[in-house]
Homo-oligomer: A and B are copies of this chain.
């Protein structure tokens, strides 16, 4: 089953204690697509400038990603520059240039409109809503967001959440959205905002799934000893998560649990190198191997 994703397409410049990358392929929709395409066909919706390197489009295509929804607008591609400190926890944004992202209005290509699995990757909630409105009959709508939108576009976000099945966000964002310091309470508050399920991504500490029916599911992260660049970890978590669900066509609670584990597994690869380097080198077997290892590591 095809997945439709809308989000940012960026040229990232990142510095970590292990090195730096300059003007490399990035953005929430891109990390998501590359991760999800390990599992299922992906249709990407986004905008780039005329400066966007042709080779990056080719790279997405080689991955089987449908780029018909990648608008090219006059101007420059969205750029983000961030630095990570020694603990590799959170990026300090050095600069952001919206460029062609400013005023981006998503137009869902005709052949995308029957998409059943929708991923609203991190982007302005109004853009997420505009995308969703153009899809005919989605089976599952999964939404990611960030602190910026929680602070500056809260009304749009709350409005959108009423139409979202599963919300993904990180622990700080869950606290910020709900005002609850305790994550258990934060999850319960989010479930009253619309979503049937919420997944809290906790980086090296794994993830929490909370649902209205069965309560909590808890998974650790895959314990990698090689964290080089955390950029895109959350977006590729989303890709592993929804990619697995779409590939199985099964949105039962037990399958959603497995999808969360595929999320942490795919993210564990992303952080092992800069940009999409590591993610581009792996396929199903590597992912299934780490999935099996997580299962073995949590058994008692």
A226 and B205 CA atoms in complex are apart in Å by: 20
Chain B contacts for A250, CB-based, 8 A: none
Decide yes or no whether A300 CB sits under 8 A from chain B. Answer: yes
Selected contact of A261 from candidates B184, B220, B300, CB within 8 Å: B300
Decide yes or no whether A254 CB sits under 8 A from chain B. Answer: yes
Q: What's the nearest-Cβ distance from chain B to residue A82, in Å?
A: 19
Chain B CB within 10 A, most for which of A219, A223, A299: A223
Decide yes or no whether A225 CB sits under 8 A from chain B. Answer: yes
Chain B contacts for A219, CB-based, 8 A: 220, 298, 300
A299 and B261 CA atoms in complex are apart in Å by: 11
Decide yes or no whether A79 CB sits under 8 A from chain B. Answer: no
Chain B contacts for A183, CB-based, 8 A: 204, 223
Decide yes or no whether A249 CB sits under 8 A from chain B. Answer: no
Chain copies in the assembly?
Answer: 2
List A residues 217-269 near B (Cβ within 8 Å). Answer: 217-220, 223-227, 254, 257-258, 260-261
Decide yes or no whether A86 CB sits under 8 A from chain B. Answer: yes
Chain B contacts for A260, CB-based, 8 A: 300
Decide yes or no whether A182 CB sits under 8 A from chain B. Answer: yes
> What is the total number of residues of chain A having a CB less than 8 Å from a CB of chain B?
35
**B297:A218 contact, CB within 8 angstroms:** yes
A216 and B254 CA atoms in complex are apart in Å by: 24
**B258:A184 contact, CB within 8 angstroms:** no
Decide yes or no whether A215 CB sits under 8 A from chain B. Answer: yes
A205 and B220 CA atoms in complex are apart in Å by: 8
Selected contact of A300 from candidates B181, B184, B217, CB within 8 Å: B217
Decide yes or no whether A113 CB sits under 8 A from chain B. Answer: no
Chain B contacts for A204, CB-based, 8 A: 183
Selected contact of A258 from candidates B205, B224, B300, CB within 8 Å: B300
A300 and B207 CA atoms in complex are apart in Å by: 13
